[in-house]
Chains A and B, each alone.
Chain A
Amino acid sequence: MAFSTTTIIDGLAAAILLTTFIAIASNRMFSLVRLFALQSVALGLLAMSVASITGAGHIYAVAVLTIGIKGVVIPWMLLYVMDKIRTTKEVEPLVSIPLSLLLCGVLTAVAFYITEPIIFTSGTITTITKNCLAISLAVVLIGFYTMIARKKAVTQIMGLLTMENGLFLAAISVTYGMPMIVELGIFFDILVAVLIMGMFAFRINKTFDSVDTTILRRLHD
């Protein structure tokens, strides 16, 4: 049982990393959102698996919230925003896709390099899911990288969300989730953040006739 569940967990973690890579490779906005939804669902399933092992009730709740908010509500909101501001359908990366993929590969290696002592050497962390830490850090870094390498405001929001997913994975993997109240607060914050950012994306579009953030260069020294 334990064997098979950890296999599932590892598989889901790998799926999350994979979706992140595909998101880097994709150049259609809609597929980005869909990939994000997929990733969130995978994350929710992973949380459920963990919950099934540890039997911690609040993780189930968190898993449901993840699937509900990140897998459904937020993608829907993003699609709504994209629809409203009628942006082009292309992603418009700053760095070419092959190079990005290469860099993200490097980032994954770096993430593993960084977390390696924590996972294997120190032995302080005893969770069965600790191997996922490297993947979660990789997802955080790649999400971060997305924000740097993409032009559009919406893609930046999605990069941030990807980072959050990575974080969430980390939380699950090394601590079996944060205390409930904290989790709830975090979800609330993320939701509000996306809302506000979406609003600003509107305002940017209205003011500049574009959601390209590289033209936001009035303020400089």
Chain B
Amino acid sequence: MNGQELFGLFILTSLLGALASLSMGRWSKACRVVSFSFSTLSSMLGLALALEVLLGSGTVVLTLPTAVAGFGTFSFVIDQLSAFFLLAISILGACVSIYSLGYTKEYEGKYSLGTMGLLFNTFLLSLVLVVSADNAILFLIMWETMSVSSYLLVMYENRKQDSVSSGLLYVVMTHLGTALITVAFIIMWLNTPGDHSFDFSAFRELGALGAMPELARNVAFILLLIGFGTKAGLVPLHVWLPQAHPAAPSNISAMMSGIMVKTAVYMLIRCYFDFLGTWDTWWGLLVLLIACISALVGVLYALMEEDLKRALAYSTVENIGIIFIALGAAMVFESYHLVDPVANAHLGDLAALALIAALFHTLSHSLFKGLLFMGAGAVLHATHTKNLEELGGLAKRMRWTGVLFFIGVLSISAIPPFNGFVGEWLMFQSLLLTQNITDPMVNLLLPVAVAVLALTGALAAACFVRIFGATFLARPRSRHAAEAQEVPRSMLVGMGIAAGLCVLTGVLSILIVPEIDKVTSSLLGVSIAGKLVNGLILSPPAGEFSSMSPLAIGVLLMIAIPASLAISRFLGGRHKVVTGDTWDCGTPLTSRTEYSASGFSEPINRIFKSVYRPHIEVRTEYTTSSLIKRRISFSRSIEPVFERYLYAPTIGLVLALARRLGFIQRGSIQAYLAYIFVVLLVLLVVFR
């Protein structure tokens, strides 16, 4: 089967899946099985398609009839970059589909599973079509199809007021982004040579120096950054993310966080590297700056969050920031490389390295964040709560979920040799090899990015210790958690595949990096695979700078752990392990004496007080005597800075204006006539 047929088959399967779910909506169980079997199947097809393009060469093209003459050719093209994202989509799509088989069971009888199947299949299809669209308008259509289907999925539990308002915020933000992207595309269209065209092939010609006026280029850059930044969740455009992800069903959160936000990364890479060309250094620096802020803000808020899924969502903001750090670095390097490709050849290599790091982390993040959200879903499924303060002790009750979630936690905390670590390592390398940039200011700014990356990594580790600890360890803090049971097998299988891949892509990154290099070399024209990979070792391109072998680390750890086990057996002989109570200083321990999630993050709250601006309220109720307290209640809330100081005033302004304008429709016909009268007179007098 060739690529084109495969692509066609993929689209067909998805559509069939959508229609089949819709038509079988009456039989919940069958519908559940059918819709997610279809999506699994289509993901597999997508995977095959992606591998065909990635491993082979050339592209797969599928052309549709154009909507309107003048819109160019509506075609889908899967080139290396598209195929890479297709790969990520398909892998996660398959995992989540399998997972959903079990997960959606709880919706039976509550919400329509036909709708879920319809939307899920559509969503999956639109994700793929977004990364393969080869025409600006087609892209916009697919982009919004993706947004709308995900919006409806966020609102799936539609009788909850929470979902409805979160969904609204999400769709409005994403619409705002789309509007800006649209404007950017039109600006680019206006500058395409000859008879303007919306085809991406025409957009590619904008990359030459001077193909676009300076102002238009810069405006397009900014608009694209804001537009796609909204979807990606860059601070301060991230506000929808921590609302929408928790509100959505967990399988959807996994897809949204894992892959949907990455489509913005995809398109920014395409726009900047493929279309516009990163000629200006300040572009990259700006991206870097915003990325640093995003990474820090994301992780800081994740640390304070008491809602498991919301914490994960903030962590997505952080990881998007990390990806954009690499992206920004790549843009900075490439700007020097473009200007003088010969003298700055090594910076071209570095750009490639940074871009590889960005893509690698994109893939890793889609895997582990997908896994974590699926895990959160499993927790939710078993306990019906996602409040960290009500969880705990699940590692014993949900053994496999615990193990799989733990792998996700290790990956996201960049523990070697998991994939999260490999991505960060590549990023550090690319940022550290910058000595040869001639501009001292740039040289000064890059270490700051290194510092941010390091700080973020450390905070993220703290964050995930807290999340895992509060959810899975110690004693259950509520009855729900105490009565939790292991989730159905299909959910475990879905998570298991993702977890396995987290390990494999880390340990075997040596095999993956060359493939990503093919992707980046198709964009930058520089291949560094030969310099990067020697046998088992990843080493950055600049000569003997350093090297690292995740495989070796993995093997060493695999040797060391049994070895230490053996040594401890050997030393001192066998001894009994006794089970007893935790040391309680004489007063029996209950779950209320455990360290709570808020308690855990309290010290960090103190350091970053100026960011969080915490508001603490202690209320004391007394009995008849003012000396004896009946109860003390304590509440801590952190100030939602962006919501309060950026969004609320904007919305408030619009509302106030609207209310002001409301006076014109007061019901008096005399007043209505007077408006016409005044307008007429003014126009006549002005234009007489």
Asked whether the complex places CB atoms of A and B closer than 8 A, the reply is yes
* B688 close to chain A: CB less than 8 A: yes
Determine if A117 is an interface residue (Cβ-Cβ < 8 Å): yes
Q: Give the residue among B670, B677, B688 with the most A Cβ atoms within 10 A.
A: B670
| A214 and B684 contacting across the interface, CB-CB below 8 Å | no
Bound complex: CA of A44 vs CA of B673, how far in Å?
Answer: 28
Q: Which chain B residues numbered 666 to 688 have a C-beta less than 8 Å away from chain A?
A: 666-670, 673-674, 676-677, 681, 684-685, 688
Is A219 interfacial (CB-CB < 8 Å)?
Answer: yes
Query: Is B669 in contact with A218, judged by CB distance below 8 angstroms?
Result: no
CB distance from B234 to the nearest CB of A (A): 38
Contact present for B681 and A110 (CB under 8 Å): yes
Contacts A94-B670, A217-B666, A219-B667 known; A148 to B677 CB distance under 8 Å?
A: yes
Count class of interface residues, chain A: 20 to 34
Q: Which residues of A contact B677 (CB under 8 A)?
A: 141, 144-145, 148
Nearest Cβ on chain B to A211's Cβ, whole angstroms = 12
Residues of chain A contacted by B666 (CB below 8 angstroms): 217, 220
Cβ-defined partner of A148 (8 Å) among B667, B674, B685, B688: B674
Do B668 and A214 touch across chains, with their CB atoms under 8 A apart? yes
Complex Cα–Cα for A10 and B684 (A) = 25
**Which partner residue on chain B sits nearest A217 by CB separation?**
B667
Determine whether B662 belongs to the interface, using a CB cutoff of 8 Å to chain A. Answer: yes
- Taking a contact as CB atoms under 8 Å apart, the answer to whether A144 and B670 are in contact is no
Let me know if B623 is at the binding interface, CB within 8 A.
no
Q: Is B667 in contact with A216, judged by CB distance below 8 angstroms? A: yes
- B624 at interface (Cβ–Cβ under 8 A)? no
Bound: A147/B665 CA distance, A: 18
Inter-chain contact A114/B668, CB cutoff 8 Å:
no
Chain A residues closer than 8 Å to B667, beta-carbon distance: 216-220
Q: How far is the CA of A201 from the CA of B112 in the complex (A)?
A: 53
For the complex, is A213 an interface residue (Cβ under 8 Å from B)?
yes
Q: B670 near A110 (CB under 8 angstroms)?
A: no
| A window 113-138: CB within 8 A of B | 113-114, 116-117
Does A221 reach chain B (CB closer than 8 Å)? yes
Chain A stretch 195-219: residues in CB contact (< 8 A) with chain B: 213-214, 216-219
Considering only CB atoms, which chain B residue lies closest to A117 in the complex?
B688
Q: Say whether chain B's binding surface is mostly helix, strand, loop, or mixed.
A: helix
In the complex with contacts A110-B681, A110-B685, A113-B688, A147-B668 CB distance below 8 A: no
User: Which chain A residues border B685 with CB–CB below 8 Å?
Assistant: 110, 113-114
Q: Which residue of A is nearest B676, CB measured? A: A144
Q: How far is the CA of A113 from the CA of B685 in the complex (A)?
A: 8
B669 and A216 within 8 A (CB): yes
The answer to whether the Cβ of A149 comes within 8 Å of any Cβ in the partner chain is yes
* Docked-complex contact B670 and A213, CB < 8 angstroms: yes
Q: Which residues of A contact B662 (CB under 8 A)?
A: 221
Return the chain A residue nearest B675 by Cβ.
A148
Contacts of B668 in A (CB 8 A): 214, 217
Supposing A113-B688, A220-B667 touch, asked if A148 and B681 sit within 8 A by C-beta, the answer is no
CB <8 Å contact, A220 and B670 = no
Flag if A148 contacts B670 (CB, 8 Å): yes
Contact status A214-B681, CB under 8 Å: no
Measured CB to CB, the closest approach of chain A to B313, in angstroms, equals 38
Tell me whether B665 and A149 are in contact (CB under 8 A).
no
Across the interface, do A114 and B684 meet the contact criterion of CB distance under 8 Å? yes
Point out the residues of chain B lying under 8 angstroms from A214, CB to CB.
668-670
Which residue of the partner chain B has the closest CB to A111?
B684
Size of B's binding interface in residues, CB under 8 A:
15
Chain B positions within 8 Å of A116 at CB level: 688
* Closest B residue to A145 using CB positions: B677
Complex Cα distance, B674 from A214, in Å, reads 13
Which residue from A147, A216, A217 sits with its C-beta under 8 Å from B673? A147
Find out whether the CB atom of A148 lies under 8 angstroms from the CB atom of B673: yes
Q: Contact: A114 with B688, CB < 8 Å?
A: yes
Chain B, residues 643-670, CB within 8 Å of chain A (1/0): the string is: 0000000000000000000100111111
Find residues 89-111 in chain A having any chain B CB closer than 8 Å to their own CB. 94, 110
Contacts of B674 in A (CB 8 A): 148
Complex Cα–Cα for A113 and B669 (A): 28
Whole-angstrom distance from the CB of A125 to the nearest CB of chain B? Answer: 15
Which residues of chain B are near A213, meaning CB under 8 Å? 669-670
What are the residues of chain A within 8 A of B665 when measuring CB–CB? 220-221
Complex Cα distance, B667 from A131, in Å, reads 39
Closest to A216 in B: B669
Closest-by-CB residue of B relative to A94 is B670
CA distance A145 to B685 in the complex (A): 17
Per the bound structure, the CA–CA distance linking A63 and B104 in Å amounts to 81
Q: How far is the CA of A114 from the CA of B680 in the complex (A)?
A: 11
Which residue of the partner chain B has the closest CB to A150? B670
Residues on B with beta carbons closer than 8 Å to the beta carbon of A144: 673, 676-677
CB-CB nearest in chain B for A159: B673
- Listed residue (A117, A148, A218) with the most chain B CB atoms within 10 angstroms of its CB: A148
For A146, give the chain B residue with the smallest CB separation: B673
| Residues from chain A with Cβ under 8 Å of B684 in the complex | 110, 114
* Min C-beta distance of A159 to chain B, whole Å: 9
B residues less than 8 Å from A113 (CB atoms): 685, 688
Tell me the bound Cα distance from A117 to B688 in angstroms: 8
For A220, list chain B residues within 8 Å (CB): 665-667
| Per-residue interface assignment for chain A, residues 144 to 169, with 1 indicating a CB less than 8 Å from any chain B CB and 0 otherwise | 11011101000010000000000000
Q: State the CA gap A94–B665 with chains docked (Å).
A: 19
- For A110, what are the chain B residues with a Cβ–Cβ distance below 8 Å? 681, 684-685
Chain B residue with the shortest CB-CB distance to A149: B670
Bound together, the chains give a CA A144 to CA B674 distance in angstroms of 9
Q: Which residues of B contact A219 (CB under 8 A)?
A: 667
Distance between Cα atoms of A221 and B673 in the complex (Å): 17
Q: How far is the CA of A134 from the CA of B5 in the complex (A)?
A: 76
B277 to chain A, nearest CB (A): 51
Q: With a CB–CB cut-off of 8 A, which chain A residues contact B688?
A: 113-114, 116-117
Complex interface: chain A residues within 8 A of B670 (CB): 94, 147-149, 151, 213-214
Write out the residue numbers on chain B whose beta carbons fall within 8 Å of the beta carbon of A221.
Answer: 662, 665
Residues of chain B within 8 A of A117, CB atoms compared: 688
Within 214-263 of B, Cβ neighbours of A (below 8 Å) are at none
| CB-CB nearest in chain B for A156 | B669
CA–CA, A171 and B609, complex, Å:
77
CA distance A55 to B665 in the complex (A): 50
CA A141 to CA B665, docked complex, whole Å? 23
Tell me the nearest residue of chain B to A115, going by C-beta: B688
Q: How far is the CA of A151 from the CA of B671 in the complex (A)?
A: 11
Query: Roughly how many angstroms separate A220 CA and B666 CA in the complex, as a whole number?
Result: 5
> Could you tell me the distance in whole angstroms from the C-beta of B658 to the nearest C-beta in chain A?
10
Shortest beta-carbon distance, A113 to chain B, in Å? 7
A175 to chain B, nearest CB (A): 19
Give the distance in Å from the alpha carbon of A218 to the alpha carbon of B666 in the complex: 9
Q: How far is the CB of B610 from chain A (nearest CB, A)?
A: 44
A113 to B668, CA, bound (A): 30
In the complex the two chains form, what is the Cα distance from A213 to B670 in whole Å?
8
Residues A25-39 near B (CB distance < 8 A): none
- B251 to chain A minimum Cβ distance, whole angstroms, is 42
* B688, chain A: closest CB distance, angstroms: 5
Give the distance to chain B from A39, nearest Cβ to Cβ, in Å: 21
Interchain nearest-CB distance for A116 vs B (Å): 8
B319 to chain A, nearest CB (A): 46
- Chain A minimum-CB-distance residue to B678: A148
Which residue of chain B has its CB nearest to the CB of A147? B673
**A220→B663 CA distance, assembly (Å):** 9
- Shortest A157–chain B CB gap in Å is 13
Closest 6 CB pairs of A and B: A217-B667, A220-B667, A221-B665, A148-B673, A114-B684, A148-B674
* Cross-chain pairs A/B with CB under 8 angstroms, 5 sampled: A110-B681, A113-B688, A114-B688, A217-B668, A221-B662
Q: A94-B670, A213-B669, A219-B667 are in contact. List 17 more A-B contacts (CB 8 A).
A: A110-B681, A110-B685, A114-B684, A114-B685, A114-B688, A116-B688, A141-B677, A144-B673, A144-B676, A144-B677, A145-B677, A149-B670, A151-B670, A213-B670, A214-B668, A214-B670, A221-B662
